[in-house]
Amino acid sequence: MNLKQTHLIKKIEDKSAIIGIVGLGYVGMPLMLRYIEVGFPVIGIDIDKAKIDRLNSGRSYIQHIPDEKISDAVKAGFKATSDFSTAKSADALILCVPTPLNKYREPDLSFVLSTMDSLVPFLREGHVISLESTTYPGTTEEELLPRIESSGLKAGEQVFLVYSPEREDPGNPDFTTHTIPKICSGHTSACREVGTALYGKAVDKVITVSSTKAAEMTKLLENIHRAVNIGLVNELKTVADKMGIDIHEVISAAATKPFGFTAYYPGPGLGGHCIPIDPFYLTWKAREYGLHTRFIELAGEVNTRMPEWVIEKLGDALNSRGKPIKSSKILVLGIAYKKNVDDMRESPSVELMEILQNKGAEVQYSDPHVPAFPKMREHYFDLKSIELTEENLTSFDCVVLATDHDAFDYDMIKQHAQLIVDTRGKYREPCSHIIKA
């Protein structure tokens, strides 16, 4: 070990190292709380002033993270800021910023690159820089490394460059930041050793891999695995529907096999910050090598088409009752991308709402986790969640169950809704006014 590496690892070991979390979202906030929990001083950097003000006042903006945890963090010394110069006082800089797709479904690294460019003037000897954002293999060394070394600092000697992909499952009480094993690698073996020390203090188990490219590919494989299998079961749902078979019954029966089968469930499309996006990072990068990832792209096509398939089922159901979609009153139940959270990223419910609105329907929604439709980069409805009452339910021509939150009273919905389009398999018993989609 060189002196810089030895000194930095010692500071990490005795918890005197200052941890800088850059990007205080669904990934950054739990990580910040975990480092504070184990006794590290932590600073947070974000460009959203409203978010910063809220956090510094001890209030959370993510539903499954209570205000009390943020308040305790502030009392422990945590401070959020938009001033990137504070990075100079940190020993570790962990980047937790979005990596969305652009309108051409190509990787958008603008958040990662602009963040790194903002940090470069404040880099110093003894820094460890870790990227957690999901991206294509090669990003760390092709994009971050030259920016870091443009400062005159040599990675692996004076500063340490790490890639360790986030593994968060918002709202899942069974897995937390410290219990989920952490993949980690570095630009050099020295970088990897520093990264292992850094994360080893916050998580129960760190798994190292040989290169940052391998770590980047590991994260993509995890989410491609899910996307492809969900695409398979979504396609089987459409086939089973034509055959008059309940796909949820089939999945439940297949899941009794004690080996060789993992249950995946269909829905109205893919949502969240990872699964609808990450596979396209690999398909884009593969083209650089003259490869066409047909299997991954086919699954993407199936999953992307699911909202349209739901609308077709809804249209047929209304037509059978002598009603067109145009001018019908449609209530969408659940607009978060998964049950029991307030996370709206890439939610297929929003696409359902947009398609219905474009077809002339009068659209409302009900979601106990999203009281008002939030500002989003690409979507907006001037709507607030309506209360689920007998009177409200009977006033709609159709209710679309898009996200199956536990808070919904499904018996009451079944009793009072005129027509239900169930995209989640919540209603298993046949019923004349429930359409499975």
Residue 437 has a pLDDT of: 93
Buried b (16+ CB within 10 A) or exposed e, 351-370: bbbebbeebebebbbbbbbb
| Beta pairing, strands 206-208 & 160-163 | unpaired
Catalytic (active site) residue 184: no
Q: Is the pLDDT score of 231 beyond 90?
A: yes
Considering only residues 276 and 42, tell me which one the structure prediction assigns the higher pLDDT: 42
Confidence band (pLDDT; 50, 70, 90) for 417? very high
Confidence band (pLDDT; 50, 70, 90) for 272? confident
3-state helix, strand, coil in the chain (%, to 5): 40, 15, 45
Question: Which residues are CB-neighbours of 104 under 8 A, at least 6 positions away?
Answer: none
Distance in angstroms (rounded) separating the CA atoms of residues 427 and 436:
8
CB 105 within 8 A of CB 301: no
Upper half-sphere CA count for residue 18 (Cβ side, 13 Å):
16
Write out pLDDT tens, residues 278-293.
899 999 999 999 999 9
CA-angle at 233, arms to 229 and 234, nearest 5°: 110
Residue 192 has a pLDDT of: 98
Confidence band (pLDDT; 50, 70, 90) for 311? very high
Q: What percentage of the chain reaches a pLDDT higher than 70? A: 100
Q: Is the pLDDT score of 377 beyond 80?
A: no
For residue 385, how many other CB atoms are within 10 A of its CB? 17
CB 336 within 8 A of CB 370: yes
Backbone region of residue 39 per phi and psi (left: phi > 0; alpha: psi in -120 to 50; beta: other values):
left
Residue 96 has a pLDDT of: 97
Confidence band (pLDDT; 50, 70, 90) for 31? very high
CB 161 within 8 A of CB 129: yes
In the chain, the domains with their CATH numbers are: 3-210 (3.40.50.720), 230-436 (3.40.50.720)
CB 422 within 8 A of CB 436: yes
Helix (H) / strand (E) containing 239: helix 212-243
CB 345 within 8 A of CB 273: yes
Mean predicted confidence (pLDDT) in 202-220: 98
Q: Dig out the tokens for 147 from the structure.
A: 């920016």
CB 437 within 8 A of CB 421: yes
Distance in angstroms (rounded) separating the CA atoms of residues 358 and 361:
7
Q: Which residues pair with 93 in a beta bridge?
A: 20, 129
Distance in angstroms (rounded) separating the CA atoms of residues 234 and 354:
21
Which listed residue (96, 184, 274, 398) is catalytic?
274
